[in-house]
Amino acid sequence: AIAPVCMFSRLLQSGALVQPFAAEITLGGYWLTRLQSRTETPAMQQFARWLLNTAAA
């Protein structure tokens, strides 16, 4: 996966993950997605609300 190094620093330090190249992501955003074929459930809606509220705090 290509993701910010800070998200996986512990795993990198422990050797559980390796960084195969020096390029790092410094800009961008995150997306919460689901398959179009999957109906959105109340639990999915609740998780999305929680995630947005937590990120906004």
As a residue count, the chain comes to 57
CA-based nearest residue to 12, from 27, 28, 24: 24
Q: Is residue 22 within 8 Å of 45, Cβ to Cβ?
A: no
Q: Is the pTM of this model over 0.85?
A: no
Q: Distance between CA 18 and CA 50 in Å, rounded?
A: 31
Number of domains in the chain: 1
- What does DSSP assign to residue 57? -
Whole-angstrom distance between the N-terminal and C-terminal Cα of the chain? 27
- The domain in which residue 19 lies consists of 5-56
- What does DSSP assign to residue 40? P
pLDDT truncated to tens, each residue of the chain (57 aa)?
577 788 888 999 999 999 888 877 777 777 889 999 999 999 999 999 999 999 888
